[in-house]
Amino acid sequence: MRVKSVFCAVLLLAFGSSVALGAGPMTGKSVKVGVIADVTGSAGAYGNSQKNAYELAGDDLKAGLIDAAGASLTFDVQDSASDPNQVVNLVQKFTTDGSALMIGPTLSSEAKKADPIAVGKNLTILATSNTAQGITTMGSCVFRDSLSEEQVVPQMLVKMEKAWKVKTAAIIYGDDDQFTKTDFDIFSASLKADNIDVVDIKTFHKGDVDFKAQLTAIGEKKPDLLVIGALIEEGVKIATQAKQLGFKGHFAGGNGLNSPKFIDLAGPAGDGVIVGAAYYLGDTRGGNKTFVERYTKKFGKAPDQFAAQAYAAAQVVAAAIKGGATNSGQFCSFFGNMKPLMTVLGPVSFMSSRDVRADSAILEVSKGAFVPFK
């Protein structure tokens, strides 16, 4: 028994992201949050950003930059290796190990297998990167702080139409990935609503590197706008190769492209791409400036949207603890009644559908940086 507890303590020291110090009304209370992230495997780049964010949140709790009213708040980040079976096993772990809240998993397709298990055990869930439809409807305590593109894309198209008189568009998207397929659904509905003619639709598969066949076909139709429904890896190559092939129209993309990595990878080819997103790196509200500086210092790169949404979740959780929540039921009712809370994403609260109410960011890549699109 003693060996076991020593072992547990060592594990906690090694892997528990944080133990909050400092006095406050919640001093002596401890809250463990179970986080499921795809740190390795095919979605490793996104899960890693999330893991980084909770590590930093741990540091920031100690440094007093996040205030959990003196409670000891731990983010138990576990890697699900982009494997739905591991996700399911982790949910089961978190429903039985005293976790007060579950954050994650990284992908919507994982969430649809995992969340019902947590819901069945009355464990409150806060999703930070699930964008598919039907996530928060899985249970009355399933929340998400990731803005749906439905809340961003229509405004974005209005702005683009005003700026450039867009009449025709083509869409290229990944049809084997939920994230990018959702992009397509939302963009095509919004384009239709705006009477923009969709002249061509082409698809690709996750992991493709060569898009010249699709882009050559699209180029023939000379659309005013090319909508890219992709995550950065593919999005960068699509923008680059389209420019190489002499495409002269404008580019638009969704959340998937909102990462400083897009700029690193695309270089000058990224310029002029418009991104409808949920986070603006240059935002100065909610401690974002400090967050960006500290994250960049700790990990050698600027945070992406996945990291920001995860860090915002940590801010929301700390606020809930400050508001007296220490167990699953209390988290659920706190989130449901939360007044807009200032986070790195700007003011955040939850609608009655448990989806997030937050500002959208319509950004333009200009001279190697994301700037607000006017």
Partner 1 sequence: MLVQQLANGVFLGAVYALFAIGYTLIFGVLDILNLAHAAIFMLAAFVALSLAGLGVPLVLAFALALVVAGLLGVLLDRVAFAPLRRRNAGTLVPLISSIGAAIIMQGVARGIWGPDEQRFPANALSTAEIHIGSLTVGALDVVILAIALVLMGVLSYVLRSTALGRSIRAVAADRVAAALLGVDIERTIALTFFIASALGGAAGILIGLQYNSVSLDMGARIELKGLAIIILGGMGSVTGAVIGAFLLGAVETLSVAYISSSYRDAIAFGVMFLILVLRPTGLFGKRALRAA
Partner 2 sequence: MFEFFAHHSKLIDQIGINALLALSLSISLRAGSLALAQAAFMGIAAYVSSIGAVHLGWNLGGAALAGALAAALVAAVLALPIGRLRGVFLAIATIGFGEITRIIAINWPITGGAEGLSGIPNDANTLSIYGTLAVVGFAIFLFGRTKLALAVAATREDESAARGVGIDVAGVRMGTLVAGAIVAGLAGALYAHSNFFITPGDFGFGRMEQVLVMCVIGGVTSSLGAVLGALLMTVLPELVRFLHDYREVSSGAILLGIILFSPAGIAGLWQRRT
The residues that touch partner 1, with contacts defined as CB under 8 A, are 39-40, 42, 44-45, 47-48, 175, 202-210, 212-214, 216-217, 220, 232-233, 236-237, 240, 244-246, 261, 264-265, 267, 301
Figure out which of the listed residues 17, 49, 50, 78 binds partner 2, where binding follows CB under 8 A. 78
Burial 307-344 (b: 16+ CB within 10 A, else e): bbbbbbbbbbbbbbbbbebbebebbbebbbebeebebb
Is there a contact between 55 and 17 (Cβ–Cβ < 8 Å)?
yes
Nearer to partner 1, 52 or 99 (CB): 52
116 binding partner 2? (CB under 8 A): yes
Nearer to partner 1, 237 or 354 (CB): 237
**Does an H or E element contain 346, and which?**
strand 346-350
Figure out which of the listed residues 79, 200, 224, 364 binds partner 2, where binding follows CB under 8 A. 79
Residue carrying the six token digits 């959340």:
255
Cα–Cα distance measured from residue 334 to residue 321, given in angstroms and rounded to the nearest whole number: 9
Report how far apart, in Å, the C-alpha atoms of 219 and of each of 72, 88, 187, 248, 357 are.
57, 44, 19, 9, 38
Q: Position 5: which residue type?
A: S
Q: How many helices (H) and strands (E) does the chain have?
A: 12, 15
Q: Select from partner 2, partner 1, none the partner in contact with residue 134, using the beta carbon and a kind-dependent cut-off of 5 to 8 Å.
A: partner 2
Nearer to partner 1, 94 or 173 (CB): 173
Cα–Cα distance measured from residue 134 to residue 116, given in angstroms and rounded to the nearest whole number: 12
Tell the burial category of 276 from Cβ atoms under 10 Å away from its Cβ (0-12, 13-18, 19+). Answer: buried
Figure out which of the listed residues 15, 192, 222, 248 binds partner 2, where binding follows CB under 8 A. 15
Q: How far is the CB of 279 from partner 2 (least distance, A)?
A: 24
Using the contact rule CB under 8 A, the part of the chain among 83-91, 261-269, 278-286, 358-366 near partner 2 is 83-91
Give the contact letters, 119-138, x = binds to partner 2 (CB under 8 A), - = no: -------------xxx----
- What is the binding site for partner 2 (CB under 8 A)? 11, 14-15, 40, 78-79, 81, 83-86, 88-89, 91-93, 96, 109, 112-113, 116-117, 132-134, 174-178, 180-182
